[in-house]
Amino acid sequence: MSRTPIIAGNWKMFKTVSEAVAFFEAVKGKAEVAGVESVICAPFTNLPALVEAAKGTSIAIGAQNLHFEDNGAFTGEISGVMLKDLGVKYVLIGHSERRQYFAETDETVNKKVHAAFRHSLVPIVCIGENLEEREAGTTKDVCRVQTEAAFKGVSAEQAAQSVIAYEPVWAIGTGKSSTSADAQDVIGYVRSIIAELYDQATADAIRIQYGGSVKPNNVAEYMGQADIDGALVGGASLEPDSYIALVEGAK
């Protein structure tokens, strides 16, 4: 089976439009490596300029969130209709910061996954345990609950196109990354859950990333693991040279 490696930068709440465009000009042609998919998930305000800048390149643009309704009286929200209209390809769903600070639940994550597919956006579904759960030994249980909930009512064909990002919360922005063996253990388990929910072909097709303090100097180690298909990267995706090194490291 061959899954295309996927490196996605999650810029979180960083970069003005001019900073985003300057970044893109610096990585163009460099963070484009044959056989590796490269995605920038930027703040909403940067998306029109980035989609324009990305034309003619192999770099895809993603959003960091969407509302689960297509339109309506939801002040301050952005829908899948709007993202699709812009030319965005990917959308992060259920990032732990959204779950923690913006009250997202397994149920809203599931609704957002359906909203993404209604508009032909590829969801990057984020799952992962917090420190307390890790210390209690419930990492796999937490990942099972989150995965099963996120994919409720999602077809095998849709699941096969999806991306899952396993991001242990305690490893995000802390410099304390999961060991590659631990990440492989959990990600292999998540793949087995997809096989149970669907079938082996779907499990073989879905791409699963590791996220949490991934840097240019450790990305290759994660990529060397059988079930790890890429990385979702925060801090190290913000500087052009670092981002280019991440994409090169995923070869």
Ligand X SMILES: O=C(CO)COP(=O)(O)O
In the bound state with ligand X, the residue whose beta carbon lies nearer, of 133 and 202, is 133
In the bound state with ligand X, the residue whose beta carbon lies nearer, of 198 and 236, is 236
Residues 140 and 191: their CA atoms lie apart, in Å, by: 12
Q: Is 170 annotated as a binding residue?
A: no
Residues 243 and 53: their CA atoms lie apart, in Å, by: 17
Q: Does residue number 234 form part of the binding site for ligand X (CB under 6 A)?
A: yes
Q: Does residue number 150 form part of the binding site for ligand X (CB under 6 A)?
A: no
Q: Is 251 annotated as a binding residue?
A: no
Residue 107 bears catalytic tag = no
3: phi > 0 → left, psi -120 to 50 → alpha, else beta; which?
beta
Which of 7, 36, 115, 232 forms a contact with ligand X (CB under 6 A)?
232
Q: Is 128 annotated as a binding residue?
A: no
In the bound state with ligand X, the residue whose beta carbon lies nearer, of 80 and 128, is 128
Which of the residues 20 through 39 are near ligand X (CB under 6 A)? none
Residue 77 bears catalytic tag = no
Number of Cβ within a 10 Å radius of residue 118: 14
Q: Does residue number 216 form part of the binding site for ligand X (CB under 6 A)?
A: no
Nearest CA to 105 out of 56, 133, 136, 145 is that of 145
Q: Does residue number 168 form part of the binding site for ligand X (CB under 6 A)?
A: no
Q: Does residue number 163 form part of the binding site for ligand X (CB under 6 A)?
A: no
Q: Does residue number 98 form part of the binding site for ligand X (CB under 6 A)?
A: no
Q: Which residue number has the CB closest to ligand X?
A: 234
In the bound state with ligand X, the residue whose beta carbon lies nearer, of 80 and 216, is 216
Q: Does residue number 233 form part of the binding site for ligand X (CB under 6 A)?
A: yes
Question: Known binding site for substrate: residues?
Answer: 10-12, 173, 213, 234-235
Catalytic residues: 95, 167
- Applying CB under 6 A, which residues contact ligand X? 10, 95, 167, 172-173, 211-214, 232-236
